[in-house]
């Protein structure tokens, strides 16, 4: 199913778990191409979150934070409290960009 973003997302996470960074990022990128937020607001937001998770898993923290910032700014199934509690995001917790993201969205009174 080459045209289904969720397949590429799952493969990206599997590759990231196996330490195959380039393959993981390639599949994550393909998922974003197949489900752009501009055309698929709900599923595109979910794809952004999954891509950010892959990027976190492979150490691409700045890219992950950029994608999370975008997802937090639209209706998506992500929130600051969730990011602060879910251990999958732990590699980001000490990143300056994560603290900035928390401050930005907590100050906005949402997410």
Q: Which pair of structure tokens corresponds to residue 10? A: 């799952």
Nearest to 40 by CA among 10, 3, 12: 3
**Which spans in 18-76 are helix H?**
21-34, 41-57, 61-72
pTM of the model: 0.90
Other beta carbons less than 10 A from residue 28's beta carbon: 30
Element (H, E) at 81: helix 80-85
Q: Quote the pLDDT of residue 39.
A: 86
The per-residue pLDDT string of the chain (111 residues; one tens digit each, 9 = 90 and over) reads: 788 899 999 999 999 999 999 999 999 999 999 998 888 878 888 999 999 999 999 999 999 999 999 999 888 888 999 999 999 999 999 999 999 999 999 877 655
């Amino acid at each position: 199913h080459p045209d289904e973003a969720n397949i590429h997302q799952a493969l990206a996470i599997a590759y990231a778990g196996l330490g195959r960074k380039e393959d993981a990022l390639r599949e994550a990128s393909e998922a974003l191409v197949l489900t752009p937020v501009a055309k698929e607001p709900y599923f595109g937001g979910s794809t952004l979150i999954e891509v950010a998770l892959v990027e976190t898993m492979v150490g691409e923290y700045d890219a992950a934070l950029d994608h999370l910032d975008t997802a937090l700014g639209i209706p998506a199934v992500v929130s600051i409290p969730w990011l602060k509690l879910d251990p999958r995001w732990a590699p980001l917790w000490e990143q300056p960009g994560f603290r900035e993201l928390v401050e930005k969205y907590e100050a906005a009174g949402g997410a």
